[in-house]
């Protein structure tokens, strides 16, 4: 083979190799990206209980989580660290308060991801105190694209005196918040717009609805009580399984 032909063949092989490598880089999971969902997952088995801090690092559930575990898992999962502190802290607290429920931090994170992108919907962000700002308020539950839920709180929680709206990073409707309101942040106030309070209220609701989040049947029953849409259950199962795999 002539030298020019050999050079042309070598260049062609190089181009092919570079193209394959570029494709692999583009397809590879990246830290900080949205969860690597597992579409075939029907439920999310609970991840191991997060490591507990030797001594609380701050008031409320967020201070229960070991700082090294938190930093490492935030990078692995792409979940904002303050949001992850709430999911993990609540999982630690529930494991002690109600071990039979078996609610994993990965499921709480998956619900938070599906409901508000971990408190980021509409440009919102989470402060160090857990407060989500600006407040995340859902659409009116007026039957247009949702079930009809007429006002139950005189607009006190959601600002709508005609129909209820889901509020906060976990998108709790006023009736659910009224049943499970809690101060989990340790600031002396119960606030559905505080991610610690909202995640604990959601956990209380899930464990009350199911009582056993360690089996497929129990897990799906709990999530269906939160939102019964099949596509929603599938999304939470996929995200929760992806988070646990990190």
| 125-182 confidence digits (pLDDT tens) | 999 999 999 999 999 999 887 889 999 999 999 999 999 999 999 999 999 999 999 9
- Flag whether 205 is in a domain: yes
- Flag whether 101 is in a domain: yes
Main-chain dihedrals φ then ψ at residue 194, nearest 5 degrees? -95, 125
**What span, in angstroms and rounded, lies between the C-alpha atoms of 193 and 190?**
9
Radius of gyration for the alpha carbons in the chain, expressed in angstroms and rounded: 22
The CA-atom distances, in angstroms, between 196 and each of 20, 84, 129, 189, 192 are 44, 10, 9, 11, 9
Domain count, the chain: 1
Main-chain dihedrals φ then ψ at residue 2, nearest 5 degrees? -65, 150
Q: What is the structure's pLDDT at 50? A: 98
Q: What is the mean pLDDT of the chain?
A: 87
Model confidence, pTM: 0.84
Band the pLDDT of 226: cuts 50, 70, 90. Answer: very high
Q: How many CA atoms lie within 13 A of 170 on its CB side?
A: 34
Token pair listed for 165: 């709206």
- Flag whether 113 is in a domain: yes
Residue 10 clears pLDDT 90, i.e. is over it: no
- Flag whether 137 is in a domain: no
The four Cα atoms 104, 108, 109, 115 give a dihedral, to 10 degrees, of 160
Q: What is the structure's pLDDT at 23? A: 30
**What span, in angstroms and rounded, lies between the C-alpha atoms of 164 and 167?**
9
Residue 63's domain spans which residues? 39-130+182-245
Residue 106 clears pLDDT 90, i.e. is over it: yes
* DSSP-derived secondary structure letter, 38: -
Q: 185-190 contacts: CB < 8 A, separation 24 or more? A: 185/59, 185/60, 185/61, 185/62, 185/129, 185/130, 186/58, 186/59, 186/60, 186/61, 186/63, 187/59, 187/60, 187/129, 187/130
Size of the chain in residues: 246
- Flag whether 192 is in a domain: yes
Q: What is the structure's pLDDT at 246? A: 85
- Flag whether 52 is in a domain: yes
Token pair listed for 35: 């969860």
Distance of CA 45 to the CA centre of its chain: 15
Band the pLDDT of 34: cuts 50, 70, 90. Answer: low
- Flag whether 4 is in a domain: no
**What span, in angstroms and rounded, lies between the C-alpha atoms of 135 and 190?**
15
Band the pLDDT of 8: cuts 50, 70, 90. Answer: very low
- Flag whether 144 is in a domain: no
Nearest to 94 by CA among 215, 181, 202: 202
User: C-alpha angle 83/109/51, rounded to 5°?
Assistant: 75
């Amino acid at each position: 083979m002539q030298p020019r032909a050999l050079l042309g063949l070598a260049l062609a092989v190089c181009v092919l190799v570079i193209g394959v490598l570029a494709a692999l880089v583009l397809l590879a999971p990246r830290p900080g990206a949205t969860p690597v969902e597992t579409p075939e997952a029907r439920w999310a088995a609970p991840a191991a209980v997060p490591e507990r801090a030797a001594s609380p690092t701050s008031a409320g559930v967020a201070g229960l989580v070991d700082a090294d575990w938190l930093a490492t898992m935030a990078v692995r999962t792409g979940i904002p660290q303050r949001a992850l502190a709430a999911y993990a802290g609540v999982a630690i607290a529930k494991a002690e308060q109600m071990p039979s429920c078996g609610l994993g931090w990965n499921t709480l994170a998956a619900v938070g991801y599906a409901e508000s992108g971990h408190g980021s919907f509409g440009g919102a962000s989470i402060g160090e105190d857990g407060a989500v700002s600006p407040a995340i308020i859902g659409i009116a539950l007026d039957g247009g694209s949702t079930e009809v839920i007429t006002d139950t709180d005189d607009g006190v929680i959601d600002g709508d005196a005609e129909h209820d709206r889901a509020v906060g990073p976990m998108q709790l409707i006023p009736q659910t918040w009224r049943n499970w309101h809690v101060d989990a942040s340790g600031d002396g106030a119960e606030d559905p717009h505080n991610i610690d309070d909202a995640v604990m209220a959601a956990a209380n609701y899930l464990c009350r609805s199911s009582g056993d989040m360690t089996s497929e049947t129990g897990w799906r029953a709990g999530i269906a009580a939160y939102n019964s849409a099949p596509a929603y259950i599938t999304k939470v199962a996929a995200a929760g399984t992806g988070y646990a795999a990190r």
